[in-house]
Structure 1
Amino acid sequence: MADIITITLLRHGVTKANQEKRYLGWTDVPLLSEEIERLKAAQDFGKQFDLCATSDLLRAKQTAALLCPKQEKIEIKNFREMHFGAWEMKTYEDLKNDRRYRAWIDDPESIAPPTGESFQEMKQRINAGFRQLRHQINKRQSEDTLLTAHGGVIRHLLIKWTREQKSFFEWKVPHKKGIRLTWEIDDWKDERKCISLQEVPLTEKENG
């Protein structure tokens, strides 16, 4: 393998539900048509990767396919967004008078959405997904991997694999920039945290 391993974490393109600020977890919705055009225009960004992994949800798969049309795609179900259960596709306005929802907002680590998953369940699932990804990277001797996933997934991976002292909600995960994590090979093999992280815009237009 190379001396350096990189994984670029990228949130999927924008959906109508994102625009409407709905809780979008496992509901399988497509990208907006204008997002499809934006991502098509950013295919130069995708050429740098030798492996493309994605959540199995449509919005992430579409993002991966548009950015990396020629690379093989590996779908990893464990990289799905949090399952919001009864709150799926609802907005703050829909839920603000729900006592359980207000309690979840105050203490999301201890309370789970009705029929949804807890933060602990989500974290365990994402950790399992990263083990799957690590196996594929090692098996294929990949040096530069793109992972198209979801805001909650990326936030957890940033907490787990970087040295930044930020909480889950302190991490900002935009749709238009990836976050590249870099490991030296010994750190990668020993499953230590990455040595650096860097924001990477999809296009020069989005830089800065």
Structure 2
Amino acid sequence: MDMRITLHLVRHGRTLWNEERRYLGHEDQGILVEGRQQLLALRERFCTGQFVRIYCSDLLRCRQTLNVILPDSTMSVIPDDEDPGRFIPGVEYDPRLRELDFGDWEGNTYEDLKSDISYRRWIDNPAEVTPPNGESWEAFCSRIQGFLTGLYLDLKELLHVEEALDTLVQAEAEAEAEAEAEAEAEAEAEAEAKRAGYGCGTQRVELDVLVVTHGGVIRQIAAATLPDTEFWETQVSPGEELKLQLTWDGERWQGVRLSE
């Protein structure tokens, strides 16, 4: 089976530390009222979308973002200031989708840290320097890759379940057609089963998947799946979407940008 997906990567709405240009990793901040208003454009864009799977960082700002942009959510369109970022049934809240943990640098700005030699070395080569009490680049990349591999396995399991159900439907339809001895009904049942099935062999399966996460995670997913793409080449502002088309090549996702 040739699996191809459209991956909708949404960065959470704007927070206070985004406004102040402070490093925001695992600190659990909510989104600003203005950020929630900005997300309504995405809600409108997704009103006709059908996502086979929805994944979300478990941090508050991403949960609140999903509550706003998911059209069929029963949550308030604009949560109030006390909204806890309620969990939506059927959504996979995955801590692997968290931003990099900046450790002791959380809440600081470039101006605060620019005289720190370790910080300057980290800016130049994050793979070789880890923020004090923070997360190494290797650990960050590893968990993002773990999510991407898990995404394939999750979708593969979903398709196998659907195929099993379609096989059962087809068998029941054929049995009914044989009992009634109506060749036309049998042919129609087989055709319907084929239309409903995801197929097998080399048939291509195309699925839409929504991921609500953080800027660094989106950059790393793009770097891991798009040819000749460096981490810092991808820029997604808070409350905006990057859309990728990814195909599983047997070992990893390979993709192209569908939006900037």
| Partner residue, 1:196 | 256
2:245 counterpart letter in structure 1: T
Is 1:151 equivalent to 2:227 in the alignment? no
3-state SS of the aligned residue for 2:248? helix
Structure 2 distance, partners of 1:64, 1:85, is 26
Instruction: Tell me, in whole angstroms, the C-alpha distance in 2 between the residues paired with 1:132 and 1:140.
Output: 12
In 2, are the aligned partners of 1:56 and 1:77 still within 8 Å (CA)?
yes
Distance 1:13 1:28, change over 3 A: same
What is the TM-score with the length of structure 2 in the denominator?
Answer: 0.69
- State percent identity of aligned pairs: 35
Counterpart code for 2:250: D
**How far apart are the structure 1 equivalents of 2:148 and 2:50?**
18
| Structure 1 unaligned spans of 5+ | 201-208
- Is it true that 1:104 corresponds to 2:126 in the alignment? no
2:157 and 2:68 map into 1 onto residues whose CA distance is 25
What's the TM-score once normalised by structure 1's chain length?
0.84
| Cα RMSD (Å) | 2.2
**Residues in 2 aligned to 1:84 and 1:19: alpha-carbon distance in whole angstroms:** 18
User: How far is the alpha carbon of 1:4 from its aligned partner?
Assistant: 3.8
SS at match of 1:199: coil
- The 8 Å contact of residues 53 and 75 in structure 1, kept in 2 or not, is answered as yes
Give the equivalent residue in structure 1 for 2:23.
Answer: 23
Q: Verify: 1:61 aligned to 2:54, yes or no.
A: no
Equivalent position of 2:108 in the other structure: 90
- Partner Cα separation in structure 1 for residue 215 and residue 41 of structure 2: 22
Match of 2:243 in 1: 180
Aligned-partner Cα distance in 2 for 1:3–1:101: 41
- Contact between 2:56 and 2:212, CA under 8 Å: does it hold in 1? yes
Corresponding residue SS for 1:94: helix
Query: 1:3–1:105: structure 2 CA closer, same or farther, 3 Å change rule?
Result: closer
CA deviation string 1:66-90 (max 9, x = no partner): 1115363211110100000000111
2:153 to 105, 130, 135: 135
What is the SS of the residue equivalent to 2:6? strand
1:167 maps to 2:185: no
Is the 1:43–1:67 Cα contact (8 Å) retained in structure 2? yes
Q: CA deviation at 1:106?
A: 2.1
2:81 alignment counterpart: none
Partner of 1:203: none
Number of aligned pairs?
A: 196
Q: SS of the counterpart of 1:46?
A: helix
- Give unmatched runs, 5+ long, in structure 2: 74-89, 160-205
User: 3-state DSSP class of the match of 2:39?
Assistant: helix
Q: How many angstroms apart in 2 are the aligned matches of 1:34 and 1:9?
A: 21
Query: Is this contact kept in 2: 1:52–1:68, CA < 8 A?
Result: no
1:205 equivalent in structure 2 = none
C-alpha displacement of 1:158 = 0.6
77-86 or 134-143, which deviates more = 134-143
1:149: how far off? 0.8
Deviation string 1:54-107 (CA, Å, 9 cap, x unpaired) is 111111111112111536321111010000000011111111222211221222
